[in-house]
Amino acid sequence: MHGLAFDIAHFLAGGMVVASFLLLYQDRLYALIHVFALHSLVLALAVGWQAAVQGAHHLYITAGIALVFKAIVIPVALHRIVRRLGIHRTLETVGGVGRDMLAGTGLVALAILVMLPVTTAADALAREDLAFALAVVLLGLLLMVTRRNAVSLVIGFMSLENGLVLAAAGARGMPLAVEISVAFSVLIAMIVIGIFLFRIRERFDSVDMQAMDTFREERRR
Amino acid sequence: MSGADLGLVAMVVLLGVPAGAALLLVLVSDYRRGARLNVGAALLCLLAAVTLFQARPEANLYLRVDDFNIYLIALNNWVSFTTSVFSAGYIAHELETGRLTPAYLRFYHAMYQALLFAMNLALLANNIGLLWVAIELATLVTVLMVGLYRTHAALEAAWKYFILGSLGIALALFGTILVYLAAQPVIGQGLPAMAWDRLIARADAFDPALLNLAFVFLLLGYGTKAGLVPLHAWLPDAHAEGPTPISAVLSGLLLNVALYAVLRFKMLMSANPSALAPGPLMVILGLLSLLFAGLMLYRRGDIKRLFAYSSIEHMGIITFAFGMGGPLANFAGLLHMTLHSLTKSAIFFTVGHISQVKGTQRISTIRGLTVTHPTLGWGLVAGAIAIAGMPPFGVFMSEFLVVSSTFARQPLLALPLVVGLLLAFGTLLWRLHGVAFGQPDRAAFVPVRASTLPVTVHLTLVLVAGFWLPEPLVAWFRHVAALLG
């Protein structure tokens, strides 16, 4: 791996972690959606760069899907949902932004501490990519558990998924990378359509078990 | 036609027929014809699955039939066939009461076949990427099915399942990528490094640290789909709010498929001498699920939810058994997997009819079924006795094997296991006592018009298994138990 190629890959993957942090402290839905578009844009660049460096042309398709679908189509659709449902208010977080950021920093440290020692055999690019990817996945999880709104939950999930695509692109010569990103896109499209069709707003909108438990048995009695 | 060719045809049928039927059923507007087509397609798949025993196709980089998955494929297609028979009667009633419209039924039948396709693909897959895609597809399809009734509770259940299921799927993908990374330096880039048979052949040379990390992700990811505590939260809702045939397929089959995926990776771990032993993790998750579900059974008010928790309990027992490992515990795990599928689907068939004749799923309003509807009532009693693990049913035998093998090797672990089993046993029978033998209410009597054949056949099989297992089946269980390590 040449110096410059490696640095650019490193820079782009690191950019995704930074974008994940940006997602963590947004307190407006529109801003959250915009940052997510940025997140996906950086992903498209990172995957595109991997395609060029590895000479793996099928990865250009994955990058294209990230660019068109996740950086443009999904944010536009989410924008419409937020406008239609009238939920463009301040977001509530469970613990407060400061705590989220601290937890996020801890998770990134964890990702690096976990990934770097176990991947000593892999080449440097895959290693760093994987560590960053795990960091993005963990930050996405954090976003999912700390938000209560359906749209931010979905954005958390999609940022997590971006991390997975980054990992798949970084794994040299990984087959089925395109198919997997298509499968994921279908999944996401369904979630977004789900929110839109069923007007999932505030009440049943989180994986917060307490909120979910309310309907379980009592409501039907 | 040579054996391998016939096997190839059977494999194509297993995948092609449900996929084709799914497309075709979207176009069939008459629900009766749709139901018949559904049964027909499932029957074809069952025949193809049986053919596989005679003629096994050669493995390629994508698909493979081996000793482990062949019986699960047969079980899968058998239960989906009987469920399609049950479903035909069930949906006719749903249509009459107006809970479903013909348009939804079209969609329902198409989705049923799509689910069958996804599950067959997951079981046949020789490629860990393909396995992932198949389980993802199965998740998507079942989410749509769970939300079919479009009530608030159904949508909520579907949404929760969606989020938790997707999370599980995402974790499993990360694990899959890590396995590829572990395999890539040994096998080389590209498809062979994701083919399961190549992986298991070379697993001893993989980097153990990467495999360990991968297994944690895979266990959590596919474990979510198998309904293991603490990732089980979607399961009771999805079972309670979806159409009952789907509850039967979810409990009886999809949980097995997810567990099958975990077991495949467990085999990889066991093949690498320096990797972490996967057993203890699975033992812990299994025990947690068993004890938690045992406690949760106590206060359930909804009959389908009650049996959903019972599914968590049994998945816990099976995971525990495979976690213990060794020929006897693995044997018990495989047997329990089979018997649980048969029993639980039979119970859901019965419960489906019960909730239809009573118009409710609430346990407190369903009383004295053995008096008002003897067939259903006694069917439920038989099912409950079987699933609670009482003799003479086969589940007793598999649970007994799990307990005795645990006592022989880890007496301390046997203690919580027995506590969990007794807890579940007691609460289940206590909750269902009133349903079967309580004072019947004087509500209008609604006769059952559906066929009781699927229930009878399943329960008879489970009963027979309590006395006698056919020799080839025992030989197969032994053989696979040895493979699982």
pLDDT digits (tens, 9 = 90+) for B431-471: 888 888 888 876 666 777 677 888 899 999 999 998 888 89
A and B: number of Cβ contacts within 8 A: 131
Which residue do the tokens 């596989």 mark?
B52
Contact A160 B170 (CB under 8 A): yes
Contact B155 A168 (CB under 8 A): no
Mean pLDDT of A156-167: 90
Contact A171 B236 (CB under 8 A): no
Please report the pLDDT score of residue B1 as a whole number. Answer: 58
Q: How confident is the model at residue A88 (pLDDT cuts 50, 70, 90)?
A: low
- Nearest CB to B189 within list A167, A173, A194: A173
- Answer yes or no: is pLDDT of A220 > 80: no
Mean pLDDT of B3-19: 89
Instruction: Report which of residues B18 and A205 the model is more confident about.
Output: B18
Contact B140 A187 (CB under 8 A): yes
- Nearest CB to A204 within list B136, B156, B301: B156
Q: What percent of chain B has pLDDT over 90?
A: 50
**Measuring CA to CA, which residue among B178, B174, B270, B286 is closest to residue B226?**
B286
Please report the pLDDT score of residue A218 as a whole number. Answer: 44
- Answer yes or no: is pLDDT of A202 > 50: no
Q: How confident is the model at residue A71 (pLDDT cuts 50, 70, 90)?
A: very high
pLDDT in tens, B342-391: 999 999 999 999 888 888 888 888 888 888 888 888 999 999 999 998 88
Contact B159 A204 (CB under 8 A): yes
Q: What percent of chain B has pLDDT over 70?
A: 98
Dihedrals phi, psi of B195, to nearest 5 degrees: -80, 130
Please report the pLDDT score of residue A177 as a whole number. Answer: 75
Q: Residue A93: beta bridge partners?
A: A147
By the 10 Å C-beta count (0-12 exposed, 13-18 middle, 19+ buried), B192 is classed as: middle
SS3 B44: helix
Please report the pLDDT score of residue B37 as a whole number. Answer: 93
Rounded (to 5) percent helix, strand, coil in chain B: 80, 0, 15
Q: Residue B195: beta bridge partners?
A: B127
SS3 B39: helix
- Nearest CB to A215 within list B153, B209, B299: B153
- Residue A73 DSSP symbol: I
pLDDT in tens, B379-393: 999 999 999 988 889
Contact A215 B184 (CB under 8 A): no
Q: What percent of chain A has pLDDT over 90?
A: 28
Tell me which chain A residues have a C-beta less than 8 angstroms from the C-beta of B232: none
Please report the pLDDT score of residue A89 as a whole number. Answer: 66
Tell me which chain A residues have a C-beta less than 8 angstroms from the C-beta of B221: none
Dihedrals phi, psi of B55, to nearest 5 degrees: -135, 110
Q: How confident is the model at residue B277 (pLDDT cuts 50, 70, 90)?
A: confident
> Which ranges constitute the DSSP H helices of A119-176?
124-146, 150-170
Contact B177 A168 (CB under 8 A): yes
Mutate to test the interface with B, among A115, A164, A193 (most CBs of B within 10 A): A164
Q: How confident is the model at residue A140 (pLDDT cuts 50, 70, 90)?
A: very high
B9 touches chain A (CB under 8 A): no
Contact B155 A200 (CB under 8 A): yes
Shortest alpha-carbon distance between residue B445 and chain A (Å): 22
Mean pLDDT of A108-135: 83
- The span from the CA of B165 to the CA of B255, in Å, is 12
B185 touches chain A (CB under 8 A): yes
Tell me which chain A residues have a C-beta less than 8 angstroms from the C-beta of B136: 183-184, 187
| Sequence-ordered strand ranges (E) for B271-345 | none
Q: Which segment, A45-59, A177-191, B278-292, is predicted with the most confidence on average?
A: B278-292
Contact A175 B137 (CB under 8 A): no
Shortest alpha-carbon distance between residue A214 and chain B (Å): 11
Please report the pLDDT score of residue A137 as a whole number. Answer: 92
Tell me which chain A residues have a C-beta less than 8 angstroms from the C-beta of B153: 215, 219-220
- Nearest CB to B181 within list A126, A141, A153: A126
B276 touches chain A (CB under 8 A): no
Cβ atoms < 10 Å from Cβ of A4: 8
Structure-block tokens of residue B260:
């099958």
- Answer yes or no: is pLDDT of A175 > 50: yes
Q: b/e map of B433-454 (b: 16 or more CB within 10 Å)?
A: eebbebebeeeeeeebebebeb
Shortest alpha-carbon distance between residue A133 and chain B (Å): 9
- Answer yes or no: is pLDDT of A176 > 80: no
- Nearest CB to A167 within list B137, B160, B177: B177
**Cα radius of gyration (chain B):** 21
Mean pLDDT of A139-163: 85
Q: Is B38 left (phi over 0), alpha (psi -120 to 50) or beta?
A: alpha
Cβ atoms < 10 Å from Cβ of B370: 18
User: What H or E segment, with its residue span, contains residue B473?
Assistant: helix B471-484
Task: Answer for the pair B324, B298: CB distance below 8 angstroms, yes or no.
Answer: no
Task: Answer for the pair A147, A178: CB distance below 8 angstroms, yes or no.
Answer: no
Contacts (Cβ under 8 Å, ≥6 apart) of A197? none
Mean pLDDT of A158-183: 84
Please report the pLDDT score of residue A215 as a whole number. Answer: 47
Q: How confident is the model at residue A206 (pLDDT cuts 50, 70, 90)?
A: very low
Whether residue B392 has a cis bond before it, omega within 30° of 0: yes
Q: Is B227 left (phi over 0), alpha (psi -120 to 50) or beta?
A: left
Q: Residue B362: beta bridge partners?
A: B302
Mean pLDDT of B265-293: 91
Q: What percent of chain A has pLDDT over 70?
A: 82
Domain map (residue ranges) of chain A: 3-207
Crossing angle for the helix pair B303-324 and B279-297, to the nearest 10 degrees: 160
pLDDT in tens, B384-442: 999 998 888 999 999 999 999 999 998 999 999 999 999 999 988 888 888 888 888 76
List B residues 354-383 in contact with A (Cβ-Cβ < 8 A).
361-362
- Answer yes or no: is pLDDT of A148 > 60: yes
Contact A183 B137 (CB under 8 A): yes
Task: Answer for the pair B158, B238: CB distance below 8 angstroms, yes or no.
Answer: yes
Calculate the alpha carbon distances from B339 to A136, B62, B256, B469, B471 in Å.
Answer: 42, 29, 11, 12, 16
Please report the pLDDT score of residue A213 as a whole number. Answer: 46
Contacts (Cβ under 8 Å, ≥6 apart) of B453? B85
pLDDT in tens, B32-55: 899 999 999 999 999 999 999 888
Task: Answer for the pair B6, B53: CB distance below 8 angstroms, yes or no.
Answer: no
Per-chain mean pLDDT for chain B: 89
SS3 B127: strand
Task: Answer for the pair B353, B376: CB distance below 8 angstroms, yes or no.
Answer: yes
- The span from the CA of A105 to the CA of A116, in Å, is 17
Mean pLDDT of A88-93: 65
- Please measure the distance between the N-terminal and C-terminal CA atoms of chain A and give it in whole angstroms: 65
B336 touches chain A (CB under 8 A): no
- Nearest CB to B210 within list A119, A191, A204: A119
Please report the pLDDT score of residue A211 as a whole number. Answer: 45
Please report the pLDDT score of residue A2 as a whole number. Answer: 66
Shortest alpha-carbon distance between residue B246 and chain A (Å): 19
Question: Chain-centre distance of CA B311, in angstroms?
Answer: 9
Nearest CA in chain A to B217: A134
Contact B194 A212 (CB under 8 A): no
